Structure 1
Amino acid sequence: MIDMAENRFKFSRMLDTMKISQPLWKELSTTEAAIKFCQDVGFPCLVRPSYVLSGAAMNVAHTARDLENYLTQAVAVSKEHPVVISKFILEAKVC
């Protein structure tokens, strides 16, 4: 169950099966690719390392500078697992 929640591909597939919408997201391995993704979807973006307890090193980046800083923290917390970046939706509500 932990793997189902922490592996973004598995979690995304589960949401798709349940017809639950989700923000755009991507697993990224370089700062340049992360910046491009965030510029393409628009800031703010949620930066989150996988397989960490209590959201350690999870942050919302509002600028490319924020993103670079948070990526450094996320990689330091979880070197073995990818960093996932998602479009952060302000004032999201469940309908």
Structure 2
Amino acid sequence: MATDYDAPRKTDEDQSEDSLEELKARRHEKNSGKVDEDETEAAESFELPGADLSHEELAVQVVPRQSDEFTCSSCFLVHHRSQLASDTKGVLVCRDCDL
């Protein structure tokens, strides 16, 4: 944080007076001690990683590998032939894994 060295400095006494005044003002606010959100409701809306998804169904259509595609022997992803980096001794490797 930048410090303005030309600004007038407050003494410890001035700082404590300011903070006491602020605390007294906050004490009289109506909602200073109340919490607006219920913790249990907030916790129920969060979805944690590794949660039980056994009741969920996937709606993805699985298509078999096409004739112009190959499976990379390094990352095991299916790529188009244009992504083929090398075909050494029958080992198919994509351009991403060949780097």
Name the TM tier (shorter chain).
Answer: under 0.3
Larger Rg: 2
Q: Using CA pairs under 8 Å that are at least 6 residues apart, name the structure with larger relative contact order, 1 or 2.
A: 1
What TM-score, normalized by structure 2, do the two folds share?
Answer: 0.20
Flag the structure with higher helix content: 1
